[in-house]
């Protein structure tokens, strides 16, 4: 007798699905995955969960990024908001918009970037000054910044951009005020004024140059000859061509660290540095001064020249603050704009090309309105910096 087995057609097959999440993977695998994510998305990742927030602040993550060759530049903006005297300066970092929507109404405008400034919660941020901030690798140094009602300072604070926490650095060997700091070969050169007592007991001020080695944290002082700059006060500093350039009065004085020598080089450089909107990219000094024209400085000819090209760069408003920084070998320019009852920060990224020694061309890669707040929210603008993480 033949028997057959049949399966009822109305019998339903039950299927089970298992939920999968990234955090269910082994920790080292999650670390390897997140280390490959562009750093522009890290502020968004930190909002996903507490575990992701802990991960993006982990030193292990940035060590993994370094081992994988994934280190990138991260743009920071330091401003004062209306509660500055209560909570100190506010810090923002550039990130991608979570929804990927552009601020431009024209969807075909490829130059409108999907970028925004995200506020970074940094507790107990010390007082800062625009020229006292210097980015070195994954750290931002706040050098000799004055506390309220203080005349001078030798303090150094260091912001760890991986964990967004401050730590105390080595004190400078001399107290300075009205400082201007610049970086050359992993050493921070801090130009400023220091007080000294004369033979008759009176106080006088003199220019001084403190040097902080960021690798060894050894500090030193380089005497600035009184004869330089006709005895005027140092006001600004930068570095080009392996030399530290100090603006003293209306002249520029170069210090050569290798030779330990000083040289007065004229008065052409400070002309477009007075607005303090300048930075160096690939050893070329760029400025966007009060007239809001983008220029570069030729140290051989000692002249400022217009950056050519810049198609798509809007006319920047005068009379408001602006800043610029080396952003991974490109130029990031931020500017402030007031429109009725709103205040906005705009950002543009410019790729630079030097076809010959006489000209530099700029290509606007994207521009975006990165911050939009009610009027009177922003009281002042300190600096744009780029850390490497």
pLDDT for the residue 306 = 97
Residues 61 and 106 in one domain: no
| Cα 109 → chain centroid | 27
Q: Is residue 9 scored above 50 in pLDDT?
A: no
Return d(Cα 279, Cα 342) in angstroms, integer: 28
CB burial string 295-312: b at 16+ within 10 A, e below: bbbbbeeeebeebebbeb
DSSP character at residue 24: G
* E strand or H helix at 42: helix 42-45
Tell me the pLDDT tens digit for each residue of 138-194.
Answer: 999 999 877 766 778 999 999 999 999 999 999 999 999 889 999 999 999 999 999
Q: Is residue 8 scored above 70 in pLDDT?
A: no
Q: Which residues contact 69 (CB under 8 A, 6 or more apart)?
A: none
Q: In what order do the strands lie in the sheet with 219-223?
A: 177-184, 187-197, 203-213, 219-223
388 touches 75 (CB < 8 A): no
Residues 52 and 151 in one domain: no
- Name the pTM for this structure: 0.89
Residues 287 and 355 in one domain: yes
List beta partners, residue 168.
157
- Average pLDDT for residues 48-52, to the nearest whole number? 87
Residues 226 and 355 in one domain: yes
- Nearest C-alpha neighbor of 82 from the set 384, 386, 376, 340: 376
The dihedral over CA atoms of 8, 9, 12, 13, expressed in degrees to the nearest 10, equals 80
Residues 46 and 78 in one domain: no
Q: Is residue 17 part of a domain?
A: no
Q: Is residue 2 scored above 50 in pLDDT?
A: no
CB burial string 205-228: b at 16+ within 10 A, e below: eebbbbbbebeeeebeeeebeeeb
Q: Is residue 5 scored above 60 in pLDDT?
A: no
Strands 308-309, 359-374: pairing is parallel
Q: What percent of the chain has pLDDT over 90?
A: 59
Residues 96 and 220 in one domain: yes
268 touches 303 (CB < 8 A): yes
DSSP character at residue 1: -
Token readout for 191 is 């130009």
Among 7-21, 41-55, 295-309, name the one with the lowest average pLDDT.
7-21
Residues 195 and 280 in one domain: yes
Return d(Cα 176, Cα 383) in angstroms, integer: 20
Q: In terms of residue numbers, what domain contains 37?
A: 26-71
132 touches 179 (CB < 8 A): yes
Return d(Cα 244, Cα 265) in angstroms, integer: 12
Q: Is residue 18 part of a domain?
A: no
Which backbone phi and psi does 381 adopt, to 5 degrees? -125, 125
333 touches 383 (CB < 8 A): no
Residues 54 and 146 in one domain: no
pLDDT for the residue 166 = 95
Label residue 287 by pLDDT band (50, 70, 90).
Answer: very high
The CATH number of the domain where 199 resides is what? Answer: 2.120.10.80
């Amino acid at each position: 007798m033949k028997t057959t087995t049949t399966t009822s057609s109305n019998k339903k097959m039950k299927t089970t699905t298992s939920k999968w999440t990234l955090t269910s993977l082994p920790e080292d695998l999650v670390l390897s995955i997140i280390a490959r994510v562009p750093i522009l998305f890290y502020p968004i990742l930190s909002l996903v969960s507490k575990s992701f927030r802990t991960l993006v602040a982990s030193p292990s993550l940035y060590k993994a990024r370094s081992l994988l060759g994934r280190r990138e530049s991260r743009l920071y903006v330091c401003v004062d908001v209306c509660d500055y005297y209560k909570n100190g300066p506010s810090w923002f970092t550039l990130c991608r918009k979570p929804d990927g929507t552009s601020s431009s109404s024209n969807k075909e405008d490829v130059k409108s970037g999907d970028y925004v400034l995200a506020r970074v919660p940094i507790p107990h941020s010390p007082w800062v000054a625009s020229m006292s901030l210097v980015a070195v690798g994954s750290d931002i140094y706040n050098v000799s910044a004055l506390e309220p009602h203080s005349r001078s300072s030798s303090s150094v604070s260091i912001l760890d951009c991986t964990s967004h926490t401050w730590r105390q650095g080595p004190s400078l060997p001399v107290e300075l005020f009205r400082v201007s700091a610049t970086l050359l070969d992993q050493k921070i050169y801090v130009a400023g004024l220091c007080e000294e007592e004369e033979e008759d007991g009176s106080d006088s001020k003199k220019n001084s140059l403190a040097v902080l080695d960021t690798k060894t944290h050894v500090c030193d002082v380089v005497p600035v000859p009184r004869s330089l700059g006709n005895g005027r006060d140092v006001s600004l500093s930068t570095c080009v061509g392996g030399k530290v350039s100090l603006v003293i009065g209306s002249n520029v004085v170069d210090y050569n660290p290798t030779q330990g020598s000083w040289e007065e080089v004229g008065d052409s450089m400070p002309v477009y540095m007075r607005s303090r909107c300048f930075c160096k990219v690939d050893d070329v000094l760029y400025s966007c001064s009060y007239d809001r024209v983008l220029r570069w400085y030729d140290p051989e000819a000692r002249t400022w020249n217009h950056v050519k090209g810049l198609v798509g760069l809007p006319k920047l408003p005068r009379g408001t603050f602006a800043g610029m920084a080396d952003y991974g070998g490109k130029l990031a320019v931020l500017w402030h704009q007031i429109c009725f009852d709103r205040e906005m920060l705009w950002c543009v990224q410019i790729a630079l090309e030097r076809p010959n020694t006489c000209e530099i061309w700029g290509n606007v890669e994207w521009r975006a309105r990165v911050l939009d707040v009610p009027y009177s929210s922003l009281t002042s603008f300190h600096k744009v910096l780029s850390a490497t993480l």
